[in-house]
Amino acid sequence: MLCAAVQVQAGPREQALQIHSRVAGVPPSQTVLLQMAEHIDSGDTAAAVRMAMENDGFYRATLKTLATPWTNRDMTPFAPLNDYTATVMGLVRDGEDFRQLLYGNVLYTGSDDLPAYSTDNNEHYRALEASDASLKDTLTRRSQSSLTGLPSEATAGVMTSRAAAKAFFYAGTNRAMFRFTLLNHLCRDLEQVHDTTGIPDRIRQDVSRSPGGDSRVFLNNCVGCHTGMDPMAQAFAYYDYEYDAAADPDAQFGAIHYNTDGETDPATGTRVEAKYHINAGTFAPGYVTPDDHWDNYWRRGPNVVLAWDPSLEGSGSGAKSLGMELAHSGAFASCQVEKVFNAVCLRKPGDSADRALIANATSNFAASGYNLKQVFIDTADYCKGE
C-alpha cells in the first residue's frame, strides 16, 4: 500500500530524478532536474529522456552494463570495455539502424592519442575506459575492414569484432558464436528453439547419432538443436581465433583469422577451418562442411514465430548475410526492447500492461528506423512512476 501511495504522489521532479538515475546511472544536476521536470510537466517526457541520454553516464554505466554481458561466455557485466561494447555505444549514440550490429562494416574506437587499435590485444579500449574522456564525445565510427584487415564482405558487425572472436570463435566448433548471438540478440537459447521436425541432413560428423548407445537420445534431443543450428553456424566456416597456446594459454593476445579466397586450410583442403572437421570419426557419414553457405531451416516449423523477414531469402554465404537474417527478424527487435526494459525498469516485463508496452515499443523501434534511443524513451516514460 505504501508503494502504491508513493507512485500516485510522484510528481514531475520525482519522475525526472528517477528517469535520469535509471537512464544515465547517476542523479542529475539541479539545473538538469528542473529542466527535465518542466518537460514532463508539459507532457514531453521524450525530451526529458533525451536530456538524460546526453549524460556520459548513459554510455559509461547504462550501455556498458547492458552490452558487456553480450561480449563474453560468462555473461558478466564486469568485463573491460572492448570493441564490441564500444560499437554498441556508438550505434546508439549516432541513432543508427541498430540492426547493423550484426552485419555492418563498422567498429567504434577512441581518440588517436590512445594506444592504437590492435587485432591482438585490448589495450586501446582499456586505456579509453581508464581515461576521463567522455565516451559520448570520443567514440569515432570506423570501417571494420580498415581496422582488422578483413574483407568488407567478411565483416559482420560485432560478430566479427575482436571481443566476439575471442569469446566465441575460441577453440570449439564455432557453434558458440551462433548460440550466444541467438541468446544475446534474439533472447532465445537453444532449448527455446528446439525443433525435432526438421530434416537433419546438415548435422556435422562430430555429433553422435547414438549418444551412450541410445539413438533415441539423438532423435529426441540432439537433433532438435543441431538440425537448425548446424546449417546456420556454417556461415562461420572460414573464421577462427588464433593465438599462441604455449605462450598465452588464456588466449588474451590472439586475433581473428579469416581464410580469404585462395587460402586453403591444410587440414580440410578448402577454405573451411579445421575445427569444422574435428572428431569426424564420431559419425563418419555425417555432414562434411564444404564452404560457408548457410540455410535457415527455422523458416519452416515452430520457429516461424521468430518472424523472419519475408524479403530475405533465408540462405546465403558467410557471416554478413546470416547477421542480416537474424537482425531483420521480429525476434531481434522485440529482444532489444525487452533488454532495455530490464535495464530501465529494473525488472522483467510481467503483466499484460508490460507486454502491451513491449509490443508498442517494438513497433516504435521499427518506425524510428531501429534507433535504440526510441526504446529508452518509451520504456523510461512507461516506468517513470514506479
Cell of residue 144, nine digits: 571494420
pLDDT exceeds 70 at position 3: no
If pLDDT is split at 50, 70 and 90, which confidence band does 385 have?
Answer: confident
Q: What is the mean pLDDT of residues 74-81?
A: 97
Residue 343's contacts (CB-CB under 8 Å, 6 or more residues apart) are 22, 62, 65, 66
What is the reported pLDDT for 356? 98
Percent of the chain that is helix, strand, coil (3-state, to 5):
55, 5, 40
If pLDDT is split at 50, 70 and 90, which confidence band does 6 have?
Answer: very low
Crossing angle of helices 372-383 and 330-345, in 10° steps, is 40
What is the reported pLDDT for 275? 98
What is the reported pLDDT for 107? 98
Say which residue the cell 547477421 belongs to. 323
Q: What is the mean pLDDT of residues 13-38?
A: 98
If pLDDT is split at 50, 70 and 90, which confidence band does 237 have?
Answer: very high
Q: pLDDT digits over 282-327, tens only?
A: 999 999 999 999 999 999 999 999 999 999 999 999 999 999 999 9
pLDDT exceeds 50 at position 4: no
pLDDT exceeds 70 at position 5: no
What is the reported pLDDT for 31? 98
Q: What is the DSSP annotation of 206-275?
A: TS-SSGGG-HHHIIIIIHHHHHHHHHHHGGGTTEEEE--TTT-TT-TT-EEEE--TT---TTTSSSS-GG
Q: Are 6 and 18 in contact (CB under 8 A)?
A: no
Residue 305's contacts (CB-CB under 8 Å, 6 or more residues apart) are 331
Q: pLDDT digits over 97-149, tens only?
A: 999 999 999 999 999 999 999 999 999 999 999 998 999 999 999 999 999 99
Q: What is the mean pLDDT of residues 163-190?
A: 98
**CA–CA dist 253, 166 (Å, integer):** 9
If pLDDT is split at 50, 70 and 90, which confidence band does 10 have?
Answer: confident
Crossing angle of helices 223-233 and 175-185, in 10° steps, is 100
What is the reported pLDDT for 9? 56
Considering only CA atoms, which of 229, 235, 230 is closest in space to residue 192?
Answer: 229
- The DSSP letter of residue 278 is T
pLDDT exceeds 50 at position 1: no
Q: What is the mean pLDDT of residues 69-93?
A: 98
**CA–CA dist 157, 185 (Å, integer):** 13
Q: Are 49 and 381 in contact (CB under 8 A)?
A: yes
